[in-house]
Amino acid sequence: DVKVTQSSRYLVKRTGEKVFLECVQDMDHENMFWYRQDPGLGLRLIYFSYDVKMKEKGDIPEGYSVSREKKERFSLILESASTNQTSMYLCASRTQGLGQPQHFGDGTRLSIL
């Protein structure tokens, strides 16, 4: 089974801090994704990566950056955390190919105080 592991289930940080969310997948997937999930809004794509060191902006990239130095690891960075970034963050990975599903981690619930 595919396993996508997010480093923290719960995280509390302060406004202005630099925050790192880590995600690791064990299936050699080419594509990796970061989403945030808010009540009533569904999942929204922040960034995705289709290969090592490659990244593309999703629908809501403002205030975030990403890093993919190794194929199995995709990091989301909040450069200067703000209260409106309090949310559930979900990482996903997928192999190339039409119709392949995304496999999700269990999420990191991030609170910015």
Partner 1 sequence: KNQVEQSPQSLIILEGKNCTLQCNYTVSPFSNLRWYKQDTGRGPVSLTIMTFSENTKSNGRYTATLDADTKQSSLHITASQLSDSASYICVVSRRVNNNAGNMLTFGGGTRLMVKP
Interacting residues toward partner 1 by CB under 8 A: 4, 31, 40-45, 48, 50-51, 54, 56, 90, 92, 96, 98-99, 101-102, 104-107
Burial state string for 50-79 with b = 16 or more CB within 10 A and e = fewer than 16: eeeeebeebeeeeebebbbeebbbbbbebe
Classify strands 19-25 and 73-78 as parallel, antiparallel or unpaired.
antiparallel
Nearer to partner 1, 17 or 68 (CB): 68
CB 112 to partner 1: min, Å: 20
Supply 100's token pair. 């392949």
Helices and strands of the chain, counted as H and E runs? 0, 11
Nearest distance in Å: CB 23, partner 1: 11
* Residue with smaller CB distance to partner 1, 75 or 102: 102
Q: Residue 67 or 79: which CB sits closer to partner 1?
A: 67
Task: State in angstroms the smallest separation of the CB of 27 from partner 1.
Answer: 14
Rounded least distance, CB 80 to partner 1, Å: 27
Q: Are 104 and 92 in contact (CB under 8 A)?
A: yes
- The one-letter amino acid code at 31 reads N
Token pair of 86, please? 């309090």
Of 15 and 65, which has the nearer Cβ to partner 1?
Answer: 65
